[in-house]
Structure 1
Amino acid sequence: MAANVTSLVPEGFARALTELRDMHWRGDLRIDEIGSPQRIAPHSVAIAGELTGPDDPLATGRLILLHDPLGNQAWGGTFRLVTYVRAEVDLEMVVDPLLPDVAWSWFTDALQTHDCSADALAGTVTASYGRGFGEMTDADRAEVELRSSWTPGLDPNHPLTPHLEAWQELLLMVAGEPPLPPDIAAFPTGRRS
C-alpha cells in the first residue's frame, strides 16, 4: 500500500504515505488501497476498509488523504482528510432522532481520543430505512452513514497515524463494536452469532 514514493512527492505527503503503509490495523479490519480523486488535489491516496463479521461486513468505509503543497483556502491548510463510513443498525436506532448527533459525536470523540490536530470539520449523518417487497420481503435494511472531512495539522510533530487510529475507531463505533482496552475481551452478542 502506497509503496511507490519518489522524489517528486512532497516530503510531508511522503511521510504520510509511509505512516499509512506502516499502520497496524485490527485483525478484523481489511484495508485495501483504492483509486483516489485526481482533480481535487495534486497528491492523493485512498483506502477502503471493511470491518468483518462472521457472515457479513459489520461496517465499511473509505478514507481519502488529499494534499496540495500550495494550500487550499477552502481547507485552511495543505492537507484534507475525507471519509465515508456506513453500517447496518437496528430499526430502533435508525428511528431515534438523536442518532445523527450521536454518530457525529463518535467522529469528534475519536479525533479527540487520539489527540488529532484537526480543523474545519464538516459532514453529514444520514439514518435510513428501506423495506423490501415481493421477492425481497426479507430485504429490510436500516443504516447509518457518516460523511465527513477535516483539515489535519500534519507535520513532523503531528503525524497522520492518530487520524488513522481515529478512523479505525469510528468504523468500530458505527458498527456497534466500541474499542476495548488492551487485554479485555467482549462477550459475544446476538449480532455476531
Structure 2
Amino acid sequence: MSVHRFRPGDDAFRSAVAAMTATALRPELEWREIPAPSRMAPSAWAATAEIVVHDEELASGRLVILHDPEGQEAWDGTVRMVALVQAQLEPEFAIESMLGDVAWSWVTESLELHGAESRELGCTATRVVSQSYGSLASRPSTVDVEMRVSWTPAGEDLAPHFDAWTAMLAAAGGLPPAPARVAPIAPSHRARAPRSPGSPSTAPSPGE
C-alpha cells in the first residue's frame, strides 16, 4: 500500500517525485519513504534520512513535499518543501554564539550548491545544551541543533531541492560538500544524531 498522498489526477507531481527519487545521492545518506501528512495539502510525499559514516549516525532529518495545484499565498507557488535537520554536536558548540548563523549558512549554501532556486525561504535553528548534575554529573554535556526549514522551489524539477536537503544533513553531520558516488569523508566536527529522550547514554533534555 502506498504511503504517499497523491490526489487523483495529480500526475505532474507524481512524475516529479519519481524523477527526484531516481537521482544518485551521496553514499553516506540512508533514506526511506514514510507516510505523508494529511490535511496540509491535496498531495504530499515524505521521507526520513540519516547520514551514516562507519556505522555511526551523524545527523538525521525528515522532508515533506506538499503540492497544491491551486497554489497557496504563503508559499508563493504550488509546491512547498518542509525539512527537518537534527544533529548532536561537540560540547564546544555550547559556547558558539554564532551557531544559528552557521546553521543558516548550511541551508543557503546547500541550496546554492545544487542550483535549487527557491522563494519564501525560512529557517528556525534551535540549540539545546544539556548538562548533568548530582548523580548524573559524570554524563558528558551535549549540544543538539535542530533546523526547521521551508521553501518554495522556483522550478518544476524537485531533484536539486532533494539534493539540497541531503546536503543540509551532511553539513550538520560535519561532512564537507561532496558529489554523489564518492567515498565517505571524515567529518569536520564530531556530530551525531540526537538520541531519543530517556536513552541511557544521554541526560534528559527538553522536548515541533
TM-score bracket, normalised by the shorter chain, equals 0.7 to 0.9
Greater relative CO, 1 or 2 (CA 8 Å, sep 6+): 2
1:1-193 matches, within 5 Å, as: 8-133=8-133, 134=135, 137-138=138-139, 140-155=141-156, 159-180=157-178, 186=185, 191=190
Question: Quick one: percent identity of the two aligned structures?
Answer: 34
> Structure 2: how far apart are the matches of 1:130 and 1:96?
14
> Structure 1: how far apart are the matches of 2:51 and 2:21?
18
Please tell me the residue identity of whatever aligns with 1:124: T
Q: Cα distance, 1:20 vs. partner? A: 3.2
Contact kept, 8 Å, 2:47 with 2:62, in 1: the verdict is: yes
Please tell me the residue identity of whatever aligns with 2:39: R
Q: Normalised by the size of structure 2, how large is the TM-score? A: 0.79
* Aligned CA distance change for structure 1 residues 5 and 129 (closer, same or farther; 3 Å): closer
Task: Structure 1: give runs of 5+ residues left out of the alignment.
Answer: none
- Report which stretch shifted further, 57-66 or 146-155: 146-155
Deviations along 1:48-71, whole A, 9 cap, x unmatched?
001113354100010110000010
> Structure 2: how far apart are the matches of 1:188 and 1:7?
41
Please tell me the residue identity of whatever aligns with 1:145: E
Contact kept, 8 Å, 1:94 with 1:144, in 2: the verdict is: no
Equivalent position SS for 2:75:
coil
- Report which stretch shifted further, 87-96 or 63-72: 87-96
* Aligned CA distance change for structure 1 residues 174 and 70 (closer, same or farther; 3 Å): same
Contact kept, 8 Å, 1:131 with 1:137, in 2: the verdict is: no
- Report which stretch shifted further, 70-79 or 16-25: 16-25
Equivalent position SS for 1:40:
coil
Q: Cα distance, 1:96 vs. partner? A: 0.8
Q: Cα distance, 1:184 vs. partner? A: 7.7
Contact kept, 8 Å, 2:5 with 2:43, in 1: the verdict is: no
* Aligned CA distance change for structure 1 residues 6 and 169 (closer, same or farther; 3 Å): closer
> Structure 1: how far apart are the matches of 2:184 and 2:51?
17
* Aligned CA distance change for structure 1 residues 48 and 184 (closer, same or farther; 3 Å): closer
Number of equivalences: 189
Runs of 4+ in 1 over 3 A off after TM superposition: 2-7, 53-56, 180-192
> Structure 1: how far apart are the matches of 2:89 and 2:67?
34
Please tell me the residue identity of whatever aligns with 1:45: W
> Structure 2: how far apart are the matches of 1:27 and 1:55?
12
Q: Cα distance, 1:116 vs. partner? A: 1.1
> Structure 1: how far apart are the matches of 2:74 and 2:188?
44
Please tell me the residue identity of whatever aligns with 2:37: P
Q: Cα distance, 1:28 vs. partner? A: 2.3
* Aligned CA distance change for structure 1 residues 112 and 8 (closer, same or farther; 3 Å): same
Equivalent position SS for 2:163:
helix
Q: Cα distance, 1:45 vs. partner? A: 0.6
> Structure 1: how far apart are the matches of 2:48 and 2:56?
16
* Aligned CA distance change for structure 1 residues 51 and 171 (closer, same or farther; 3 Å): same
